[in-house]
A and B are shown apart, each in its own frame.
Chain A
């Protein structure tokens, strides 16, 4: 198994898509920095307090940790899943497309081990993506925006019900936790992509179908008309990763949604393994 993982990891490191994902996330951070910087300058120029007596958007509010939080929140839902899906969706269908799947499968390794080894590589890539993204945001935030405490207000990020604060050092730990909870949440998308990668011959089809399913449920979950259906969407459970960024972490909720994500991940992976074992590989 270790040898299989090492081979799959080597393939990942040799692929351009792997480096493209990090480059794209770096570009996203640059754009976020530009947007955040100009917004913060506009909001602290005094115009807001001319119109309204009070605003929490002060100089202390706009700091590197707030920048990281905003950047992570937006990238997590819509940008990072694309790269995770690309990696996972290409694992089996990509081999088939390249004409190497049959050759891999005639080696004296079980198909189950092959799928698991490929999924382990997807896990590693997902974690590296998140850790890199959070680390880069914190670094950029420190260098260009400055540090302070993480101040949270109800409303825009839909994260808290009441104003709260996380002290700087604690906030850094929370971002560390977020790299793990975020990876776990994203593995649901990865597991779907893995299953579809086995079902479809073309990696593009597998990636598109996964993204279509994820984005559809993500968007529907944000529309009030689907309030009664929302709890049954996997994208709703995936949102648990943000709980570690709340001043008081709601542990029971976090355990529940993390376990639900676990059921999705292992259930889909088990299905993928069973399907792949019985699949007739002719290409």
Chain B
């Protein structure tokens, strides 16, 4: 009898411990006390789901994109999958001229990446293409105030279908940032199409998880993954949009995925990160 009783007690005890220690899923914004010098960055792939005839950004979605940007007031914005410079001009107009922008060269791609910098940035903002074979990322170097360090932000979009191509592209972009001056603070933002978290034991969206692992490890050699706690950024519960920054030079105040922001058939949500400098 006592054995049965002991088993029943152990069973109940285990259930109680399991209940008491159940994990709480936190997908809320990570928010800490802000410091005086803070920088707000937003990354958003404004393209559309693969089932759409036009998977690049839709011009009719741009007013909604502008509203999200104005509401969150980021200092710099990295956008991916615009159709070209015309869309950037329309977006800048809808942003009430508060931002300056640049689109990357097209290369062999049918879409371009863009960076937007707040107009308050001091004069001397420099926009660049970041080349990787026949693909390009867009970069901007700027300074918001005299006593602030120079900031570099890269807007990148890695290949969605080939992990080896992604790895080469990410290697090139990271190496480009490493050639910047040491006193600059560099951020890499965009849709990297990498899924390396432990949440999914089997990832059906990559053709080679090993390449993605190498790409992510290379990024983390030099940068911190600032949006790591913010949760998924794309449909199908995927976290593929990132903002990487120098972990030793910045303090993360906030990282949030704006899940109400997508309109139409967009398949990504914007990732907003605020860091103290």
CA distance A161 to B195 in the complex (A): 10
How many angstroms between the C-alpha atoms of A259 and B23 in the bound complex?
A: 13
Q: Contacts A253-B23, A263-B14 known; A52 to B198 CB distance under 8 Å?
A: no
Residue B200 CB within 8 A of the other chain = yes
Chain B residues near A116 (CB-CB < 8 A) = 3
Tally of chain A residues near chain B (CB < 8 A): 42
A159 touching B168 in the complex, CB below 8 Å, given contacts A260-B14, A274-B4: no
Residue B171 lies at the interface, judged by CB distance under 8 Å to chain A: yes
- Inter-subunit contact B4/A54 (CB<8 Å): no
Binds B, one of A94-102, A166-174, A192-200, A265-273: A265-273
Among B234-255, those with CB < 8 Å from A are 236-237
- Closest chain A residue to B236, Cβ basis: A224
> A29-37, A83-91, A135-143, A149-157: which one contacts chain B?
A149-157
Contact A259 B18 (CB under 8 A): yes
Interchain CB contact (< 8 A) of B21 among A222, A227, A252: A252
Selected interface stretch from B50-58, B85-93, B137-145, B212-220: B212-220
Tell me if A160 is interfacial: C-beta within 8 Å of chain B: yes
Contact B21 A255 (CB under 8 A): yes
A51-B164, A158-B198, A266-B10 provided; 18 other pairs, C-beta below 8 A? A54-B218, A110-B3, A155-B217, A158-B201, A161-B198, A163-B217, A222-B201, A222-B202, A224-B202, A224-B203, A224-B236, A252-B23, A253-B23, A256-B22, A260-B18, A262-B13, A263-B15, A266-B14
| B contacts, CB < 8 Å to A | 3-4, 7-8, 10-11, 13-15, 17-18, 21-23, 164, 167-168, 171, 175, 196-198, 200-204, 209-210, 212-214, 216-218, 220-221, 225, 228, 236-237
Can you list 24 A-B pairs with a CB-CB distance of less than 8 A? A52-B171, A56-B214, A112-B3, A153-B216, A154-B216, A155-B212, A155-B214, A155-B217, A156-B210, A156-B213, A163-B220, A163-B221, A222-B202, A223-B202, A224-B236, A256-B22, A256-B23, A259-B15, A259-B17, A259-B18, A263-B14, A266-B7, A266-B14, A270-B7
Top 5 A-B pairs ranked by shortest CB distance?
A155-B213, A262-B14, A259-B17, A266-B11, A259-B18
